[in-house]
Amino acid sequence: MTYIPHTEKDRKEMLAAVGVDSLDDLYDAIPENVRFPDLDLPEPISEMEVAQELQALSEANLEVFHTSCFLGAGAYNHFIPSVVDHTLRRNEFYTAYTPYQPEISQGTLQAIFEYQSLMIQLTGMDVSNASHYDGATALAEAVILALNHHRGKRNKIVISPAVHPHYRQVVRTYTQGMGLAITGDEKCETEPEDLMKMLDEDTALVAVQYPDFFGNITDLSALGEAAQASGALFCVVVNPLALGMLVPPGDFGADIVVGDGQPLGISLSYGGPTVGIFTTKDKYVRKMAGRLVGETVDSRGQRGYVLTLTPREQHIRRDRATSNICSNQGLLALASAVYLSVVGKQGLRKVAELCYHKAHYAAERIDALKGFTLWNKHPFFHEFVVKCPRPVAEINERLLEWDILGGYDLSQEYPDLKDHMLIAVTEVIAKEEIDDLVAALEEVSND
């Protein structure tokens, strides 16, 4: 493509149009001494030297390959088979934008179709969209679906405090100015039974997390029934990896199941990007946001894949569309699909069970330490809360000396949970690493 800069004549015309004489006049509002500061830059160096410098900088990072990572809180350190990355880097898939034209994109569309098929098997729902940006935006879209399902006649959202704090924040950002009452998450120890009491004729949606932010696995079937009785939709935020061993939410009445696909073959990458899972029942499909790929046959009777039910979307429905999402997180949805295909049904269960058993071993040992108490009252998956004898930030600082990344400091988001640490244990953690953590915690608490 030819780059055509503005000519002197163009510039003069534009300056005249905004009513100034010269380019400098445009910068009038900026004090002269900070307008063009001298940049204190080093001398130019060669590519080799740049590479060496960047290498040295990257080695200054503390990451999960050179530490024992017990930090989770929504993003987890799992093993990623190399075939996942290998598939992603194929240039047929590695594009900046998901191509949807069926004439040229059968591979991409088939991959999305397979991702969708895997997601409904995992969640026990009828239909999955082609994915959202992440778990938080998927939850926000669930709220939007529920509001549209009730056609603006219900304006209350009940949300558990054990839904990831950032997800709840995103829901509030998405819906600001819409006049909604978002409630239920005021106190950190709110059980599903407490949420049931908040359901009323104005409730559009009730949202819970499974396993919840504190790792708890609770029986949600009564809440599902109560939601149905009140007419509210029932949304469950899941960790998809946990569904390798847990009952899928489709079996206990969920209307919408969302979650973050990060545990399925996506690296931590300093917090993102990840992929947002969104699945629901057939009856809500026309209110669902995002792309949807369907299987069909072409004029010669051959199997093919196309975008389906597109009149939901804003390029057709225009201002009456219920969402402005017109894309998906294609590459990372592919990563999740490849991951699930590689580990398989039994493999996923095995990964989940490894996480579960290692986490329970860790919890038992830490609970036995003087000064540390296991906080969870319910069964938990691979994450649990420990009440510590000192502030979590102080403990984590000390753990770094042992090359251990400690757990999440819950007091950041839950003022009631001062000195409470959320610890995640995944399949990559060896027993010796757990024993080291226990030893380190013991020493830290005796300081």
What DSSP state is assigned to residue 39? P
For the chain, the first-to-last Cα distance in angstroms comes to 66
286 touches another protein (CB under 8 A)? yes
9 touches another protein (CB under 8 A)? no
297 touches another protein (CB under 8 A)? no
Binding mask 234-273 for another protein (x = CB under 8 A): ----------------------------------------
In terms of CB distance, is 19 or 311 closer to another protein?
Answer: 311
What residue type is 218 in one-letter code?
A: T
What 3-state DSSP class applies to 354?
A: helix
| Neighbouring-strand partners of residue 238 | 210, 259
For residue 303, how far is the Cα from the chain centroid? 33
- The residue assigned the tokens 């004489």 is 21
Candidate ranges 154-162, 216-224, 232-240, 312-320; the one touching another protein (CB under 8 A): 312-320
- Residue 362 to residue 348: CA distance in whole angstroms: 21
In terms of CB distance, is 317 or 345 closer to another protein?
Answer: 317
Residues from 148 through 207 that contact another protein (CB under 8 A): 151
- Residue 164 to residue 174: CA distance in whole angstroms: 16
State both tokens at 30: 């900026």
In terms of CB distance, is 106 or 310 closer to another protein?
Answer: 310
Q: Minimum distance between the CB of residue 263 and another protein, rounded to whole angstroms?
A: 36
Residues from 34 through 73 that contact another protein (CB under 8 A): none
Cα–Cα nearest to 190, from 158, 165, 161: 161
Long-range contacts of 11-19 (CB under 8 A, 24+ apart): none
Residues from 314 through 373 that contact another protein (CB under 8 A): 316-317, 320
In terms of CB distance, is 197 or 317 closer to another protein?
Answer: 317
What 3-state DSSP class applies to 231?
A: coil
In terms of CB distance, is 70 or 284 closer to another protein?
Answer: 284
Residues from 99 through 158 that contact another protein (CB under 8 A): 151
| Neighbouring-strand partners of residue 383 | 424
In terms of CB distance, is 286 or 431 closer to another protein?
Answer: 286
Q: Minimum distance between the CB of residue 309 and another protein, rounded to whole angstroms?
A: 8
Q: Minimum distance between the CB of residue 147 and another protein, rounded to whole angstroms?
A: 13
Q: Are 233 and 149 in contact (CB under 8 A)?
A: yes
- Residue 341 to residue 46: CA distance in whole angstroms: 44
Long-range contacts of 60-67 (CB under 8 A, 24+ apart): 62/400, 62/405, 64/268, 64/405, 66/403, 67/403, 67/404, 67/405
- Residue 62 to residue 86: CA distance in whole angstroms: 25
Q: Minimum distance between the CB of residue 174 and another protein, rounded to whole angstroms?
A: 22
Sequence length of the chain is 447
Q: Minimum distance between the CB of residue 300 and another protein, rounded to whole angstroms?
A: 20
Candidate ranges 47-55, 65-73, 116-124, 311-319; the one touching another protein (CB under 8 A): 311-319
In terms of CB distance, is 23 or 316 closer to another protein?
Answer: 316
Q: Minimum distance between the CB of residue 150 and another protein, rounded to whole angstroms?
A: 10
301 touches another protein (CB under 8 A)? no
- Residue 192 to residue 207: CA distance in whole angstroms: 10
Residues in the site for another protein, rule: CB under 8 A? 151, 286, 311-312, 316-317, 320
